[in-house]
Amino acid sequence: MNLRHSLTLMVFAFGVTIFPSAALLADSAPDGKTLFHTHCSVCHGQEGTGEDPQWLNGGWREDGTRIAPALNGTAHAWHHEPQLLYSYVKDGSIDTTSPMPSFGDQLTDEQIWSVIRYIQSLWPEKIRKIYEERFPGGLGEQD
Ligand code: HEC
């Protein structure tokens, strides 16, 4: 076997061992965007734009049911500290009449944080900056 052949073989061997593990990693890493679209966008809108553009902060319909607020930085959610956002998702709304469910038995802590990171990624740069000043490390880069 000449050098070129053995090099080709080596590249082939590496390719076979590296690619499946990279694919596995991508599969097991929680993807906040996918989780958001699976669990949250039905109420909070695709990209967190809220259930009703007239009611970005949420509110009540005439029939007394709640409207889900925007989470993308155009409403109130970004005023909450990270831990509160986390418990909102894990335990649901403190308002027991709210349709905002608890996800504690469906999502792992890691998945909840990755949904929160996704929501935060939708916030405009200006808001992200204010948030980071108010809650140092609150955007998760230092996690
Ligand atoms: C069945 C509808 C529904 C689903 C599904 C839902 N929510 Fe909500 N959510 C609401 C409503 C309505 C409110 C506002 C009322 C309240 O605070 O209880 C809310 C409030 C929130 C708030 C607080 C916002 C603020 O401005 O204070 C956060 C954060 C939030 N939801 C995140 C999520 C995430 C993340 C998911 C998915 C994992 C999700 N929600 C799924 C209906 C929903």
pLDDT digits (tens, 9 = 90+) for 15-38: 544 444 444 444 444 699 999 999
Lowest mean pLDDT among 23-32, 50-59, 69-78: 23-32
CA 130 to centroid of ligand 1, rounded, Å: 22
pLDDT of residue 143: 44
Identify the pLDDT of residue 123. 97
Half-sphere exposure of 43 (CA within 13 A, CB side): 15
pLDDT the model gives residue 61: 93
Rg from Cα positions in the chain: 21
**Hey, which residues does 66 pair with through a beta bridge?**
60
In Å, what is the CA distance from 73 to each residue of 6, 23, 111?
A: 55, 33, 21
Evaluate: CB of 99 within 6 angstroms of ligand 1.
Answer: yes
Q: Are 68 and 58 in contact (CB under 8 A)?
A: yes
Three-state secondary structure call for residue 65:
coil
- pLDDT for position 23: 46
Q: Is the pTM of this model over 0.85?
A: no
pLDDT bracket for residue 96 (50, 70, 90): confident
Query: Could you tell me the end-to-end alpha-carbon distance of the chain, in angstroms, rounded to an integer?
Result: 50
State if residue 45 touches ligand 1 by the CB under 6 angstroms criterion: no
Task: Check residue 97 and give its pLDDT.
Answer: 82
Q: Is the pLDDT of residue 41 over 60?
A: yes
Residue 121 confidence class, pLDDT cut points 50, 70, 90: very high
Q: pLDDT value at position 26? A: 46
Pocket of ligand 1 contains residue 101 by CB under 6 Å: yes
- Could you count the other beta carbons within 10 Å of the beta carbon of residue 107? 19
Residue 85 has pLDDT above 60, yes or no: yes
Ligand 1: distance of its center to the CA of 19 in Å? 38
DSSP alpha helices (H): ranges in 29-97? 32-39, 41-44, 82-91
